[in-house]
Amino acid sequence: MKKPVKAIVWTLAVLLVLLLAVTFGGGAYMVNYALNPDDTGAEAMARYREGLDEKYPLLEEWLDSLEAQGILRDTSITDDQGFLINAFYAAAPQPSRKTAMIVHGYTANPMHMMMIGRMFRDSLGYNIMLPNLNYHGNSEGEAIQRSWKDRLDVMHWIGLAPGMFRTPADSMRLVVHGISMGAATTMCVSGEHTPDYVKCFVEDCGYTSVWDEFSLQLKEQFSLPSFPLMQTTSLLCKILHGWSFSEASPLRQVARCRRPMLFIHGDADTFVPFSMMRPLYDAKPQPKEKLIAHGSEHAKAYNDHMEEYTSAVRLFLDKYNKP
């Protein structure tokens, strides 16, 4: 081989190695950035709880009252991966067979969902359970699971609900209600085999898939194209955490769901774009209903339209959360 040809081959080889190094290095950074963010644990939850008096003073009073009476409690169990996972729970004001499993979003915790907890318990008469998802709040974990493995933890809590509220499984009526990543988790649960007492689902501003949402955030936050970073990031996630971005698909899961689902989304949402609601709704077989929160940005539908939101959930549950 002539020297100029050898030089070209070596140059191309070096460039290829550099490209692979940069691509996989970028993928490793993005996996860590997305799945191991700082400040998602118990201290973050405690700070949010302390700040409720400024954001939601009535909610602060409600929580103080429940805690003082010993009504709001928490418990921990060991999940299938060997991590301690935690959940808050409270019985309804009057004995009830109805329970709401309320699932929080990315980097949030149950305290972010207490306004929904209050709606279910005080306005609708439900027992409430609010899990800390893996790597959030009081739960352990090696990384955020972006709804996919979270579905397994939520299903574990669903299995424990009858015993926790001293309700026979054959008379319990349970709804799963999630917001943002919690809504994606709710949809992922909906495609699995769940006990007969899981009657229906409410998803509020969930995404179609981790792949779609991550690709969008690559573009919006970093001005980067999806190829090749999405491929390497997903591969590294599979190697490190046992699941890939293409697996984590609420869109595929809702297509398998035969139980009723209420879809809620703000039409001003750009973080999980409002446009994602349409393919999710279309993929879900009947029965299904939807509520569009006009003018609401991401995860703001309840705050912006409290009465309409509560009424829509009430009517949906009256219709479908039956024995």
pLDDT value at position 24? 63
Ranking 68-77, 93-102, 213-222, 253-262 by mean pLDDT, the lowest is 213-222
Q: What is the pTM of this model?
A: 0.93
User: DSSP code of 180?
Assistant: T
Largest Cα–Cα distance of the chain, in whole Å?
A: 88
pLDDT value at position 251? 98
pLDDT value at position 7? 64
Report whether 23 contacts 229 (CB < 8 A). yes
Segment 13-48, tens digit of pLDDT: 655 555 555 566 778 888 898 999 988 999 999 999
pLDDT value at position 250? 98
pLDDT value at position 54? 83
Work out the average pLDDT over 98-119.
97
Work out the average pLDDT over 132-160.
96
Q: Walk me through the domains of the chain, giving residue ranges and CATH numbers.
A: 1-35+210-246 (no CATH), 39-209+248-320 (3.40.50.1820)
The pLDDT mean for the chain works out to 93
Residue 97: pLDDT band with limits 50, 70, 90: very high
User: DSSP code of 122?
Assistant: I
Segment 184-217, tens digit of pLDDT: 999 999 999 999 999 999 999 999 999 999 999 9
Question: HSE-up of 181 (CA within 13 Å, CB side)?
Answer: 27
Give the whole-angstrom CA distance, residue 54 versus residue 26: 40
Residues 6+ away with beta carbon under 8 Å from 124? 98, 100, 310, 313, 314, 317
Give the whole-angstrom CA distance, residue 240 versus residue 299: 30
pLDDT value at position 213? 96
pLDDT value at position 71? 97
Segment 254-298, tens digit of pLDDT: 999 999 999 999 999 999 999 999 999 999 999 999 999 999 999
Percent of the chain with pLDDT over 70: 93
Q: Greater confidence, 7 or 187?
A: 187
Q: What angle do CA 220, 204, 265 make, to 5 degrees?
A: 65
Look at residue 12 and tell me whether its pLDDT is greater than 70. no
